[in-house]
Amino acid sequence: MQNKSSVNIGNPSKRQAEILHFAREYRRENGYSPALAEIAKYFNISIPTVHQHVSSLREKKLLTTEKGKKRSMQSLRDHKSQIVEIPLMGLIAAGGPIEAIRDPKPIEVPSTMLPPGADYYALKVSGVSMIEEGISDGDIVIVRDQPTVDDGEKAVAYMPDRNEVTLKKIYREKNRIKLVPANKTMKPFYETNVLIQGKVVGVLRKEV
């Protein structure tokens, strides 16, 4: 299973993905790219912060700029394979089981996070029980839709008896399923009836 550092190499944070989308839509509507000040105003962040994001996006080869030329910012999504949309299905607990919000909204993610041959969706994380796996409150996890996972993998688990969904590491025991948080201050819990709804394959980090 990938950890947070390996997942995010070459992939944008949530805010960086939003900046990419904004820059692309701005260029489409106006015929030229937004200035750093316009991006800063739109997202209510400082110009130095925008510059850091843009520099990071260049390093990740998701955005280009021409040195010495204003408004030259351009997303490398000229090929649609670079960025794809998947549904943001709602909120999932990483601190205690809660009911997931099923209100699909699209979110853009790099295609490099989504190997072909499977269906994917995203969930926003609530809670800190997966913090030791690099998943923090407010992060967005990318989930591959699949009915099984190996022991120790991070999974979206539906518990029909509770009609609730949670994000935990899964371990199978003789007559029950052990759901384990990645937070040493929290204890695992057990269920006899668990349906796996997907495996976590990536993380888009919340901006701080």
Q: Do 157 and 165 touch, CB atoms closer than 8 A?
A: yes
Of 33, 129, 169, 199, catalytic: 129
Of 124, 154, 168, 199, catalytic: 168
The length of the chain in residues reads 208
Which phi and psi (to 5°) does residue 155 adopt? -140, 155
Residue 136: active-site member: no
Ramachandran assignment for 128, one of left (phi > 0), alpha (psi -120 to 50 degrees), beta (any other): alpha
Residue 129: active-site member: yes
Give the C-alpha separation, 179 to 162, whole Å.
Answer: 14
Contacts of residue 127, Cβ cutoff 8 Å, sequence gap at least 6: 93, 94, 95, 96, 137
SS3 139: coil
CA angle 31, 32, 34 (to 5 degrees): 130
Q: Do 153 and 171 touch, CB atoms closer than 8 A?
A: no
Give the C-alpha separation, 34 to 28, whole Å.
Answer: 11
Q: How far is CA 185 from CA 95, 133, 159, 181, in A?
A: 11, 14, 23, 9
Active site residues: 129, 168
